[in-house]
Structure 1
Amino acid sequence: MDILIGLQWGDEGKGKIIDLISRDYDIIARFNGGANAGHSIYHKGKRITLKLLPSGIFYPHIKNIIGTGVVIDPIALQAEVEQLQACLPDTDLFHRILVSAKAHLVLPTYKYWDIYFEESPEYRTIGTTKNGIAPTYSNKILRQNIRVGDILSKNFEAEVFQILAKQYLELQALGQDMPMLQELYDNFLEACNFFKKTQITDTEIIINEALRNNKKVLAEGAQATLLDIDHGSYPYVTSSNTIASAACVGLGVSPKLIDKIYGVTKAYCTRVGKGIFPTEITGSPANELRKKGDEFGSNTKRPRRVGWLDLPALKYAIMLNGVTDLVLTKADILNGMSEVPICTAYERDGETRTLVSPTSVDDAARPVWKFLDGWNTPLGKINQQIQVPKELKLFISFLEEELKISVKYLSTGPQREELIILDN
């Protein structure tokens, strides 16, 4: 089994890379997160955002598995399938989708808990997407939640109503604005009935049987390394483990079966919401980079914070994941710059550190900058390594020397075909 991971704070372009390489796999399996993040893919020239569905959904030969580690909002899943069905009218999407019976459901009241926690002055504001992801994982750990397999139980409807009614009264008592309880309940059950059209099964058995039969499996991560609940820039992180080792837990696969680990990084950095961002830039340079790179959330449409490439944090992410193949995206966005800044280390109290956890970098730490010559060649027009401008080749060589890993893929634009495999 191979794994594909984002190495920064998300939005590295994972969806495009998975879409491109997935044609070589038999199974694409999502192992963490929920509908709080989106992978943008261009299909027949149209941009499509996948939030819960694995990125192999466009290929008829691929089984797309939503694994046990994912939390699933049935209403969001129904909306996503229906939107995709409109783009693929003659395709039986349900035949391509398998869902773990052990994955947990996002109940409709959880979104309102998210809103309450984000807007209440009594709680820390994280900057979540308010999709109910954290309350779902919280109730999973408390062993008070409902799983996908429970949809098929005869007691499902009564159990759901009991939980919703209890939480509804609690939220009302806290002053949270709510729609009618019956409306929440009816809409949820309608989406759950739609959910039954998918194949609800023990996906860990299917994946392991496929691996025993020499089938190729690609594990797809949501969010990214620096948003990991344990190793990211806590508390401004997501609610699940996002690093490569989490794929084994989220899908039920032994670490002995892992082969390649693809790590995706932009040529610069972005993040959404609050949290440390040592190489962040502001003002007109930030606005220009944000506009040029279309740095707005694929799910929330929120403007992303932008900054220059952070090598100490990237080294940390590569170390955590054990990356074997590095993917560089959005170098095309930096085209036309006279020089490209890269943070190579941090200085604090006379000490220089080139490998750091993001949470250990505070306001007293000063970035150490390296400025490389920029390139001025539209990358979307090139399709061979020999055409890559000299300055970008030197940029890549510098990264490889610093990171001690080769760049395997170079993305030259947002479209599926705009990618070059580099021969190092």
Structure 2
Amino acid sequence: MDILIGLQWGDEGKGKFIDLIGSDYDIIARFNGGANAGHSIYYQGNKVTLKLLPSGIFSSHVKNIIGTGVVVDPLTFKAEIEELAHIMPTQDLFNRILISQKAHLVLPTHRYWDIYMEQSPLYRTIGTTKNGIAPSYSNKILRQNLRVGDIHSDSFNTDVYQILHRQYNELQLLGQEMPAFEELYHDFIQGCTSLKQVPIIDTEIFLNKAIRDGKKVLAEGAQATLLDIDHGSYPYVTSSNTIASAACVSLGVSPKLVDKIYGVTKAYCTRVGNGIFPTEITGQAANDLREKGAEFGSNTKRPRRVGWLDLPALKYAIMLNGVTQLVLTKADILNEMADIPVCTHYEIDEQEISLAFPQSAEQEIKPIWKYLKGWNTDFSNIKHANLLPETLGAFISFLEEELQVPINYLSTGPQREELINLAK
């Protein structure tokens, strides 16, 4: 099994890379998060944002697994299927999807808990997507949630009604605005119809048998390393483990079966929401980079915070994940810059730190910069590694030396074919 993860705060271009290499695999398995993810893929000239579905959905021979560690919103799942039905037959979609019966459900009241906690002065504002992800994981840990496999239970409708009714009343007492209860309940039950049309199975058994039979499996991570609930910039993180080892836990596959670990990073940094961002830039330079890079959330459309490449944080992410090869994206966005800033160290309390990610916002973090010569070239003409401008080649070599991991793939644009295999 191979694993692909993001090394920054998300939005690195994981979906595009999986779309490119996905046809080489028999199975692509999503292992964390929920509909708060947004992997953008170009299919038949259309830009498609996948929220719950794995990124191999457009390859006819690939089975796409939604793993145990994912939280599944039936309404989002249904909407995603209906949207994709405009560009491919619905039955083809259903034939390519398998869902873990142990994956937990996102209930409609979870969304309203998310909204309430983001807006209430009684709680810390995190900057979530308000998709109900954290409340679903919270109820999972409290052992008070429902799982995907429960939808086939005779008591499912009654169980949903009771849980929704209790949470609905609690939210009403807190003053949260919501639609009528019966509307909320019936929309959710109706949303579950799409889930009932796909196989709901013990995906860990399916995956382990497939690996024993020589099938190629790619584990797809959502969000990214610096948003990991344990190792990221807490509390401004996602609600799941995003690092490579989480794929083994979520999918029920032994670490002994892991081979390649792909890490995807931009040539600069972006972040959505609150939290530490040592290399963040502001003002006109930030606006220009944001516009040129189209740095707006694929799911939420929120403008992303932007900054220059952060090597101490990137080294930290590579260490946590055991990355074996890197994918570098959006170097084309830095085209026409005379110099490219890269943070090589932090200065914290008069000490230089080259491998770390600060946890305290109270620390004064001073980035130490190195400026590399930029490039000015037509990226549409770059189809092979030997056509790279010399300064871009030097930039890649510098990163490889600093990070001690090869950059095997370079993205040269947003389309799936705009990616060069540098290892060839």
Shorter-chain-normalised TM-score: which range?
A: over 0.9
Cα offset for 1:64?
0.3
Partner of 2:255: 255
The separation in 2 between residues aligned to 1:144 and 1:3, in whole angstroms, is 31
Alignment map for 1:187-336 (pairs within 5 Å): 187-336=187-336
Query: How many residue pairs end up in the alignment?
Result: 424
The letter of the residue matching 1:182 is: E
2:114 equivalent to 1:114: yes
1:236: how far off? Answer: 0.1
Instruction: Identify the residue that residue 417 of structure 2 maps to in structure 1.
Output: 417
SS of 2:383 mapped into structure 1? coil
For 2:349 and 2:410, locate their aligned partners in 1 and report how far apart those are by CA, in whole Å.
37
Deviation of residue 230 (structure 1)?
0.1
- Which residue of structure 2 lines up, in the alignment, with residue 78 of structure 1? 78
Cα displacement string for residues 139-186 of structure 1 (whole angstroms, at most 9, x for unaligned residues): 000000000000000000000000000100000000000100000100
Matching of residues 4-403 of structure 1 within 5 Å: 4-89=4-89, 92-359=92-359, 362-403=362-403
Q: Distance in 1 between matches of 2:93 and 2:404?
A: 41
Please give the secondary structure, in 2, of the residue aligned with 1:179.
coil
Letter in 2 for 1:389: P
**SS of corresponding position for 2:190:** helix
The 8 Å contact of residues 409 and 423 in structure 2, kept in 1 or not, is answered as no
Q: Which moved more, 1:167-176 or 1:346-355?
A: 346-355
Please report how far the alpha carbon of residue 45 of structure 1 lies from its aligned counterpart in structure 2 after TM superposition.
1.6
Q: Are 1:372 and 1:395, in contact at CA under 8 Å, matched by a contact in 2?
A: yes
Query: Are the equivalent residues in 2 in contact too, given 1:278–1:361 (CA < 8 A)?
Result: no
Identity of aligned residues (%): 71
Secondary structure in 2 matching 1:359: coil
1:351-404 deviation line (CA, Å, top 9, x unaligned): 111001231575412110000000001223211111111110000000001001
CA distance in 2 between partners of 1:167 and 1:423 (Å): 53
Deviations 1:103-146 (A, max 9, x none): 00000000000011000001000000000000000000000000
* Residue identity matched to 2:239: S
Runs of 4+ in 1 over 3 A off after TM superposition: 360-363
**In structure 1, what residue type is equivalent to 2:293?**
G
So what's the TM-score if we normalise by structure 1?
0.99
Q: Distance in 1 between matches of 2:363 and 2:349?
A: 12
Q: Please give the per-residue CA displacement for 1:35-84, whole angstroms capped at 9, x wherever unaligned.
A: 00100001122100000000000011000000000000000000001111
Are the aligned partners of 2:348 and 2:363 in contact in 1 as well (CA < 8 Å)? no
Does the residue aligned with 2:359 lie in a helix, a strand or coil? helix
Secondary structure at 1:308's aligned position in 2? strand
Aligned counterparts of 1:417 and 1:362: Cα–Cα separation in 2: 44
